[in-house]
Amino acid sequence: MIRKNLANIFSLACVQGANALLPIFIFPYVLHLIGAEKYRDLVVSEAIGLIVLAIVLYSYEINGVTRSVHALKQEGVALASTVFSEVMCSRLIIWAFCVGVVLISGVFLAHDVYLSLLCWMLLPLAYIFQSTYFFQALENNVPVAVLSLVSRLACCGIVFTYLQPSDPTYFLPLIVGCSYLVGGFFSTLYLLFVVGVKFTSVSWKNMWNSLVDGKEIFSGNFAVVLFRDSNLLVLSFFGVSAASVASYSVVEKFIKAFQAVIRPLNQFFFPRVIHAVYGRPEPDKIALYRILRLTYLQLMILLLILIAIVTVWVLLNDKVAFLSSYPDKPLMANLFLLMSVGVFFGVSNFMLGTAGLNSLNAKRYLAKSLIATGILTLTLCVASTKLIGVYGAAASFVFGEVMLFLLILRRYLKSGC
C-alpha cells in the first residue's frame, strides 16, 4: 500500500512537473528570442486561452473524480465508462462552442493575437482527451504521468531546436498545442485498450443534468480565473509597458510552477478528504480538524520548497546564463516573494474548499464565496494596477487567496460539532 501511494504521488508530481516544465523554461526563452512587444501579444492570447480552458474543463476535474470513484466502487469500469463518456461529450461540445466564439472574435482582435489564440485552442482539446480526473479516480496515475512528461519534453525539444526569431507568433502555441494533443490522445487510448473503458451512448438529458449538477463548482472555478489568470489582461488593457508585462508574465509562470510542485499532494489527498468527511452532513469543526490534519504536511513541504527556491536564486541568479538573461530581476524577485504568500493560502483553499466544502454539501456556499472573491479581487486589481502597476496586480492575487480562505474558514466555524 505504501509503495502504491508513493507511486501515485510521484506520478502526480510528474504530471504537474511536466506541465510546469514548459512555461518556466520555454516562455523566458521565447521572450529573449522574440522581444517584449511580440511576447506581450503571445501571453495575452495565452491568458484568453487559459480562460477557455477553465470553461472547457467545467467542473469535471472535481465532481468527475467523485462520480468516477463512486461508479468504480459500485459496478467497476462498466458504470465508470458511462461517466467517462458523459464528461468527454460534454467537454467536446463546450470546446466546439468556445472555438466558434473565438472564430467570431477575429473581427475585434489584432491579427497576431487572433492566430495565436486559435492555436491555443488545441490546449483545451488536449486536456479533454487526457482525462486526468479518471486516472485520479483509478488511483493509477503512472500512465498519464509518463505520457505527459514525454509530450512536454518533446515540445521543449522542438521549441529549443527549431523556433526562430523570424517565426510568426502563433508558431509557439501551435507547437505546444500539438504536443499536448498527442499526449492526450494516447492517454485516451490507454483508458480504452488497457483499462477497458468503453464509449457508451450518452443522452442529452444526462449531459444536461451533469452540467446543472456541476454549475456551482464551475461558477467557483471560473471566478478563480478572475483573480488568478486575468491579471495579464488587466495589465495589457491599461497599457502597462511591454517590459513590465513580460516580467510579470515570467513571474506568474514561476508561481504556477511553485503551485504545481505541491499540487500532486493536493490531488493525492483529495480522495482521502472525501473519505475523511464521509457521513458528515455539513462543514463543522470536526471536519475542519480532519482536513487540517491532511493539510499541515503539505504546507510544511511547501515552505521547504520556497526556502530552496530562494536559496538557489540567491546563489545562482548572476552565475547561470539562463537566469542572468531575465529582464528586471529585482522586480521579478520582489513579485515572486509577494505572490508566493498567496500560494500557501491557495493550498489550504483547495483542501478546505474544493475538496472539503464540495464533499460536505456546501457547494453553493463555496461557489458564492468564489464569485464574491473573484469580483472583488478583479475590481481591486483594476484599481491598484492604475496606481502602482504590476505590484497592484501581484497584491490583488494575494488578497484574493486570503479573502477566500477567511470565507471558507467561516463556514466551518459557524457550524456546531
Residue spans of the domains in the chain: they are 1-213, 216-417
Q: Using CA atoms, how far apart are residues 42 and 163, in angstroms rounded to an integer?
A: 14
* The pLDDT of residue 61: 82
* The pLDDT of residue 130: 92
| Dihedral angle computed from the Cα positions of residues 297, 302, 303 and 309, in that order, rounded to the nearest 10 degrees | 150
416: its cell numbers: 456546531
* The pLDDT of residue 417: 43
Q: Using CA atoms, how far apart are residues 399 and 342, in angstroms rounded to an integer?
A: 8
pLDDT (tens, 9 = 90+) of the chain, 417 residues, equals: 556 666 666 666 666 666 666 777 788 888 878 887 888 888 888 888 888 998 998 888 878 888 888 888 888 888 889 989 999 999 999 999 999 999 998 888 888 889 999 999 999 999 999 988 888 888 777 888 888 888 988 998 999 999 888 888 899 999 999 999 999 999 999 999 998 889 888 888 888 988 888 887 787 778 777 767 778 888 877 767 777 788 888 888 888 888 877 777 787 777 788 788 877 888 888 888 889 888 888 899 899 989 988 888 788 766 655 556 566 778 888 899 999 999 999 999 999 988 888 888 888 898 889 888 888 988 888 888 888 888 998 999 999 999 999 999 999 998 654
* The pLDDT of residue 173: 94
